Each structure stands twice: as C-alpha cells, then as structure tokens.
Amino acid sequence: MTAGPLAGVRVVEFDAIGPVPLAAMILADFGCEIVRIGRAGRVPSPSADGPILGRGRRCITLDLKNAADRDTALSIVACADVVIEGNRPGVMERLGLGPDACLAANPKLVYGRMTGWGQTGPLAQTAGHDINYIALTGALHAIGGADRPVPPLNLIGDYGGGSMLLALGVTAALVSVRTTGTGQVVDAAMTDGSALLMTMFYAMHAAGYWRDAREANLLDGGAPFYRTYSCADGGHVAVGAIEPAFFAALLTGLEMDSAGIDQSDRTAWPALASRFATRFAERSRDDWAEVFAGTDACVTPVLSLAEAPHHPHNRARATFAAPAGPMQPMPAPRFSATPAETALVENTDSATILKAWTE
C-alpha cells in the first residue's frame, strides 16, 4: 500500500474501457488500494491492461454471469470504500451488482458510474464515443479549422470530462461519507463533464466576447498571437503571447517593428498571421526555441510524444519516468505531505488477492 493522500481507501474497479482505467490509475497513484475485476474471456487491451494505464492495482478475473463469481464480487465490494464501473445503464443491475445490491451489502459505499450519456436521458442506452459526446455539448464545434471541426484526441470527453470528473466525484463522495456515514451513487457522464469544461467559453459567448465559429476567437487559432506556426524544418512552434508585454517580446524575437501593429485590431489578424507565418518559416523549430529561450514571448517548441519526456523542464520536474519499463507520465498534482507515487504492484494469484482483501 502506498502513502498518498488517499492511502487506506479501497476501490473495486470493474473492468471497462475508456475513462475508467485512467480514473483508477489516478486513484491508485493517490494511494488507493485497488482490485480490478476483469471479465472472463475478454481479450486484453494493450493500453488499459498494460504497465501504464494498468499500473498500481491488482487484478482478478471473474465470470459475472456465474452466480458463485457474482457472490465473490459482492464479497469484495462489501470490503471496499468505492466501486467504479463503466457499463451501459442497467448492465450492473442485471448482473446483481448494481448500486442497490452493493449499497445493501455496504451502506457506506461510494458507487461511481461512468458513461457517455449518463444514467438517464433519451440517449442513455445509445452507443457512442468521445467524439459523439463532445459533439452535443458545443465543444467539438469550437475546435478545429474554419472549414470543419477536428476531434481533440479523446481528451475532452473520455479523460477531462470523464476520468477526471469520476475521480473528483468519488473523492467528494468519500468526504461526504466521513461526514454523514452514508454512501451514494456518483453518476459521471462524459456529456456533462465536457459541457462543464466549456463553462468559460459559454460565459464568454454570453458576454459577447466569443463568436460561435472556429478560428475566429482569441483562443481557437483565430488570433495570430495564439496559434501554431510551421518552421523551416517541418517542425512547429506554439505561440501564446496574449498580454501586451508578451506580444511585444514576440515581436522583438521575430525582429519585427511594432509600428503600425495593433494587437487588438481583429480585422488585421489575418494579415498579421501571414507575416508571422512567413517569418517563422525562415528558421527551424529549435532555432526559434533558442531565440525565445528565457523570454516572456510565450513561444515554445511543439514536441512529439518521443521528445517531450526529455525536455529539460520535464526532466527537472520528473514529469515523465519509466518505473516499469516504458516511459510514462508521473502522478499529478504534487502533494507536500502525502506525495503520490506510481505503485509497482505485483499481481499474485486470485486466491491470495481475495484472502488479503476480505480478511
């Protein structure tokens, strides 16, 4: 057992794809003791079952359609503080492992449910993926080039609006249990979470500061001082010089005269972006990184997944490491008194895991 801020909290993770494995990994990093119940006959996932997303918890395999195995699962739940699952609404109930059954066995249990559409609503039983969930919240519409939306990986629905919302929800519910002595169900939906992440943009839109179009606003690539540019070697730089002082530093690094340039003049943005593009295309990505190093121009190289772990800042903070072989992100955020860590858990046989969990 690790000594993170959630040390002593016991979590049962019912095998799932998408945001549930990441939420469980985060909880494990924070010190939770986790048993993952895998489905019998399921083909292992190279990501969810690997040493990165699968880190920090022990795994057993049960056939939840078998009565004896369901009883075993319920006995594990009875000894837990938290359950997290990612099935469609009604699946766990049909297995006899829904919230009512589990809370009857363990009244202080926090039962975390992760779905795309939520437990209720006309789409609750409909299939979908991250791209579908963020499409209905305005998030996908706001991201991409002017000609079409572009999916931002699956960071907004699955992970930002899913994993993080689930981890926060069950942690908040744990605090409530300590106050009230009563468990509850946490209904975490990726549509709800991705909508929540869009709060600032809805606020800006309501105030008249955000056009409901792509590449037309301050933070969506519309501003010439907040976008990426191609360099001579095919690499890219990210420019985020929003504040006037930072914009001035950007012009200095580009060796451009500020005369006649009005950062706030939106009608001039396309022409200014073209000038910046021409200038950045004259040198390599790393040349520009050197030019802007140590300045407040907010210009950084766009690093690949292979490059990012080796950047001096990431190395200084140990943002990435390879504790179990492959390079991977380390726990975040940082805690001063109860530091999180990547627990290297040795998976023993199921009987040993069950004995240690239920005794």
What CA–CA distance (Å, rounded) separates 81 from 177?
9
Angle between helices 164-180 and 19-29 in degrees, nearest 10: 50
Does the CA dihedral 263-267-268-270 come out positive or negative?
positive
Catalytic residue among 129, 205, 236, 311: 129
Has 129 been annotated as catalytic? yes
Q: Which residues contact 157 (CB under 8 A, 6 or more apart)?
A: 116, 129, 130, 131, 133, 134, 139, 190, 191, 193, 194
Q: What is the DSSP letter of 87?
A: P
Q: Which residues contact residue 46 at a Cβ distance below 8 angstroms, ignoring those fewer than 6 apart? A: none
DSSP 130-161: HHHHHHTTTTGGGSEETTEE---TTIIIIIII
Q: How many CA atoms lie within 13 A of 217 on its CB side?
A: 16
Which residues fall within 8 angstroms of residue 126, CB to CB, at 6 or more apart? 117
Candidate list 29, 81, 130, 158, residue with the active-site label: 158
Told to judge if 158 belongs to the known catalytic residues of this protein, a careful annotator would answer yes
Rg (CA), the chain: 24
Looking at the annotation, which residues are catalytic?
129, 158
